[in-house]
């Protein structure tokens, strides 16, 4: 019998030449949120796939974990997202509020990295957002024990059908709501020709932001 092929991927020769834009200290303001809004609007114009998708990285016992969540609002210089407070990320945030957010917009050849601390938003704001979600999403948020081990998807489908048949009130549960990330650093990365990428980092210093350029 022939020997079993060894599984693997050879990626060393995959290359992309970045040359769509440049990022210069002379063309940006001293407020990183203005630049973020500008980049976000441009991401929409070039039809980036889900431009509000961001990687949320948390830490537990010195081990990182990451997942995609959706940015729902940029408010008062904070980044808002919503989830189940009893999920893995919710528990990790409860124990360690230091997080990182990462946006990647490949069409624009851009990346934004944010490091900061997270805190829950107020219950009224969480309920206001919960109530504008589609009914199906609200029910799923209520019946799903997010991140917990289940034996089969059929369990969730049965719970969903039972909830609908009993016509229970669709109210935000206490274990579901919003967080806001208060940034301490925000780094903007613009792909550059010959791998000479532009990286400008904003660092919060009391009420102002300091900028510095990083080598690619």
Q: Count of CB atoms within 10 A of residue 103's CB?
A: 23
pLDDT at 8: 82
Confidence tier at 20 by pLDDT (50, 70, 90): confident
CA distance 30 to 24: 12
* 107: its two tokens: 């069409």
Averaged pLDDT for residues 17-25: 85
In the structure, what pLDDT confidence band is assigned to residue 179 with cuts at 50, 70 and 90? very high
Which residues make Cβ contacts (< 8 Å) with residue 173, sequence separation at least 6? 141, 142
67, 138, 180, 195: the catalytic one is: 195
User: For residue 3, what pLDDT band results from cuts at 50, 70 and 90?
Assistant: low
The answer on pLDDT for 195 being more than 80 is: yes
What is the pLDDT averaged over residues 162-183?
96
- The string of pLDDT tens digits covering residues 119-160 is 999 999 999 999 999 999 999 999 999 999 999 999 999 999
**Is 207 in contact with 117 (CB distance < 8 Å)?**
no
For the cut 90, the answer to whether the pLDDT of residue 9 exceeds it is no
* Residues above pLDDT 70, as percent of the chain: 97
- Do 18 and 193 contact (CB within 8 A), yes or no? yes
Q: In the structure, what pLDDT confidence band is assigned to residue 2 with cuts at 50, 70 and 90? A: low
CA distance 12 to 29: 38
Res. 17: pLDDT tops 90: no
Cα–Cα distance measured from residue 46 to residue 105, given in angstroms and rounded to the nearest whole number: 10
Average pLDDT over residues 6-16: 78
Average per-residue pLDDT for the chain: 94
Angle at 32 between CA 27 and CA 35, to 5 degrees: 50
Q: Residue 86 in contact with residue 146, Cβ under 8 Å?
A: yes
- Per-residue pLDDT at 90: 98
Of 20-29, 45-54, 57-66, minimum mean pLDDT range: 20-29
Query: What domains are defined for the chain?
Result: 25-122+175-214 (2.30.110.10), 132-171 (no CATH)
Residue showing tokens 């504008």: 132
The DSSP result for 2-62, as a single string, is: PPPPPP----TT------S----GGGS-S-HHHHHHHHHHHHHHTT-SSTTEEEEEEEETT
Q: Does the active-site annotation cover 110? A: no
Tell me what pLDDT residue 27 has: 86
Element (H, E) at 95: helix 88-95
Residue-level pLDDT at 165:
96
pLDDT digits (tens, 9 = 90+) for 103-122: 999 999 999 999 999 999 99
Mean pLDDT of 30-46: 97
Owner of token pair 């210093």: 205
Rg over alpha carbons for the chain, rounded to the nearest Å, is 21
Contact 58, 69 (CB under 8 A): no
């Amino acid at each position: 019998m022939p020997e079993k092929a060894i599984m693997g991927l050879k990626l060393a020769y995959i290359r992309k030449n970045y040359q769509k834009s440049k990022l210069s200290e002379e063309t940006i303001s001293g407020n990183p949120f203005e630049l973020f809004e500008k980049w976000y609007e441009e991401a929409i114009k070039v039809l980036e796939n889900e431009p509000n998708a961001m990687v949320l990285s948390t830490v537990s016992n010195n081990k990182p974990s990451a997942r995609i969540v959706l940015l729902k609002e940029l408010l008062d210089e904070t980044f808002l997202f919503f989830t189940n407070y009893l999920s893995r990320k919710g528990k990790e945030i409860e124990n360690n509020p230091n997080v990182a957010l990462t946006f990647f917009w490949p069409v624009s050849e851009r990346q934004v990295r944010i490091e900061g601390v997270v805190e829950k938003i107020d219950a009224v704001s969480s309920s206001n957002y919960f109530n504008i979600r589609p009914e199906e999403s609200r029910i799923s948020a209520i019946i799903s024990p997010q991140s917990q081990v289940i034996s089969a998807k059929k369990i969730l489908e049965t719970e969903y059908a039972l909830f609908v048949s009993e016509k229970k009130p669709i109210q935000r549960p206490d274990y579901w709501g919003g967080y806001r990330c208060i940034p301490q650093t925000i780094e903007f990365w613009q792909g550059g020709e010959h791998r000479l990428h532009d990286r400008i980092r904003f660092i919060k210093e009391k009420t102002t932001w300091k900028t510095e350029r990083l080598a690619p």
